[in-house]
Structures are given as C-alpha cells and as structure tokens.
Amino acid sequence: MSTGTTRAFRLTRWGGPPVLTEVPRPSPAGEEVLIRVEAAGLCRSDLHVTDARPGDLPYRLPFTLGHEVAGRVVERGPLATGPAPGERVLVHGPWGCGSCARCRAGAENYCDRRADLDADRAGMGAGLGRDGGMADLLLVPSGRLLVPVGDLDAVQAAPLSDAGLTAYHAVATIRRALDEAPGACVVVLGVGGLGHLAVQILRATTDARVLAVDVREETLALADACGAHFTTLLRPDTGTVLRDRTGGVGAAAVLDFVGSRSSLEPAVRVLRAGGELAVVGSGGGELTVRKPGVLPAGTRVSLPFWGTLPELAAVVSLAREGVLTAEVERFPLSGAPEALAKLRSGGVRGRAVLVPD
C-alpha cells in the first residue's frame, strides 16, 4: 500500500512551463508496476510537448514529463508479470494497446490501434500524455514494457530507451541498403543526442563508412570520437562534398536526424540510386516524392519512429558490451527547468539526464 507524496515535473497547462510539484505516491493495481526512477533523459520532443498549443496533441493535462526512463522495480500489482522488485530496468516509452498484432510482436511504437488511443486521448506513453519519469516514481501499465539492464549505470541506460532505441531502429530500417553494398557509405545528418549513438551503432554493427554532418564543430568532434570516418560542417555545398567523399557513386543510405529543409537538401544530393533515406528528425522539412523528381531512381524513403521492445533489448546488450556509450550531461531532478532551458538553447552536448536528488 503506497502512502504520502512524491515529486514530479508536470505540464499543467498548454504552452505553460512545466512545474516541479508534489503528487500523491502512485500505488500499482492489476498488472501495473511501480518504478523508483534512477534517471530520466530529456528529448527535443519534450520541447514540442511543452510548446504545444491547446488541441495540438491528443493528450489530457496534467501529466508528468519524461519518456526516457531508467529505474528500479519497487512494487508490483497483484497481476503484474516481468521484472521483480529490486530489478533495475528501462521503461519502453511507447505504450500501445498491448493486444494488437504489432503490440504482440513488441512493436508498440507502431500499435495498430494508435488512432483509437489518440481519439480517446489516451496518450502516446510515459511523459507523452501519460505520467512519465521526470519524477521520483513512475507507474508503468505492465511489466511487458520493462527491459532489465543489469548493473548498467542508470545515467548511461536512460538515453538508450529513446535516443539509443530510435537510432538503432533507424539503422535497422536502412540495413538492406548497407547489406546490398558492403563497405558502402552512410551519411548521418545531425550528430546530437540521437546521431552520436547512431554513429556508434553503425560502427559496431555494420562495415559502412560513416560520414557525419552537423552545424557545430564541437559536435563533429563528438562524431569523430564515436568513430565517424569523415565529418563536415553543414554548408550549401555539403551534398557535393559528401558525394565526392563517396567516390562519386553516392551514399547507400542517409540517416537524417534533423529532418529540416537544410538537411534534406544534401540528403537528396548525396543519395545513390537505389539507396535509402530515413527521416528521423521532426525538423519540418518537406520532400516531394515524384517520378521523375529530385530523388534518385529506386530511392526508398522511411519515417522510422522510436523502436521495438526486442530492439531495446539489443540496444541494452550493445551498451553492456561496452560498444555504445551515451554522451550525457547530468542535472538534478530539482534542476529540471534549467535542464529544459539548456536543451532549448542548444547548449546540451549529447543527452541531458535528470537524476532524482
């Protein structure tokens, strides 16, 4: 039986700043599992949610932010399954219906009933219309959404559940283009919280030559440290610079973690015929898919979103093998407003992570 109150960083009105406040301590019922949060990452999506106007998002207010969460199981409902009290876990962020074909396959990021859930304003998941993990405690609907992390450091683990998983799923999405052309080039546009992990995942799981692009020198240094074979600042001629770097044939695949007009332009310019473009970032850029058009013949375009439960387990394995390390900047939970402001200003290198203080 849970009693007392606990802290949570909550969005209480659309467009208003989230506030750190006291909420009743949750008590797990049925299949629910209560997690003591050890770390919660911040994401640019938290800015989109915080800035949303009434009606923009199919979410009900108020709710606690935080969809990138690591913690320890503290209490389970009477019907709960999965990790037992005391186990350290990651929380899979997208919460689907749990019973459709996609959810049964662990692909809750592509739940077949997402439209119905949105119509009911049920929320996307932790911190996205449902109470999330920028808090001391997090109530998770089911143990199916928990992935054990063993002794992995919580501040290292939390970014894996969103940044790491999204990067891993994006690489999996373009894998075919890399398998068709061993040693081919892949371009990573944007080497921030997701891109730097994608560079590591590409180096650890493929033989592709990684060409990284960003607008900040210090981020290109991070890309280099993560194993990129070539780095260059985004400029008007970046598409040509990249294509020259591929020996003129073009890149077998492009991972665009920005998704803006300024990133899609070089993406289209560098793509090889029959290549793959994965647009991961929500930068508002647009691409016309037309034949003939700007995209090379045979281009496959995808819009990968987050990742699946099996993929999250694979990401945790890579991290535990020591081949995937998140660049993180720690903040106390009490400093959540400052962390969000620093993310908004573009001042965070890698991923900002809140730790309950």
Cβ–Cβ under 8 Å, residues 100 and 161 = no
Give me the half-sphere count of Cα atoms (radius 13 Å) on the Cβ side of residue 110. Answer: 13
| Rounded-to-integer distance, Cα 113 and Cα 100, Å | 7
| CA pair distance 135, 183, nearest whole angstrom | 44
Q: Which of 33, 69, 124, 348 binds ligand FEH (CB under 6 A)?
A: 124
Instruction: Check if the beta carbon of residue 198 is closer than 8 Å to that of residue 307.
Output: no
Tokens matching residue 194: 């997701």
Q: Is the peptide bond before 292 cis (omega within 30 degrees of 0)?
A: yes
Binding residues for ligand FEH, how many (CB under 6 A)?
A: 7
Does 308 contact ligand FEH by CB under 6 A?
A: no
The correct pick among 126, 128, 158, 199 for binding ligand FEH (CB under 6 A) is 128
Q: Which does 90 bind (CB under 5 to 8 A by kind): Zn ion, ligand FEH, none?
A: none
The entry of ligand FEH, Zn ion, none that residue 100 binds, CB within 5 to 8 Å by partner kind: Zn ion
Residue 104 gets the label, from left (phi > 0), alpha (psi -120 to 50) or beta, of alpha
Ranges within 138-197 binding ligand FEH (CB under 6 A): 162, 166
Q: Minimum Å distance from CB 158 to ligand FEH? A: 13
Which of 18, 45, 92, 132 binds ligand FEH (CB under 6 A)? It is 45
Instruction: Report the DSSP beta bridge partners of residue 276.
Output: 253, 300
CB closest to ligand FEH, residue no: 45
Minimum Å gap between C-beta 111 and Zn ion is 3
Q: In 3D, which of 213, 254, 251 has the Cα closest to residue 231? A: 213
Q: How far is the CB of 61 from ligand FEH (least distance, A)?
A: 16
The partner in contact with residue 306, picked from Zn ion, ligand FEH, none with C-beta cut-offs of 5 to 8 angstroms by kind, is ligand FEH
Q: Residue 111 touches which of ligand FEH, Zn ion, none (CB < 5 to 8 A by kind)? A: Zn ion
Point out which residues bind ligand FEH (CB under 6 A). Answer: 43, 45, 124, 128, 162, 166, 306
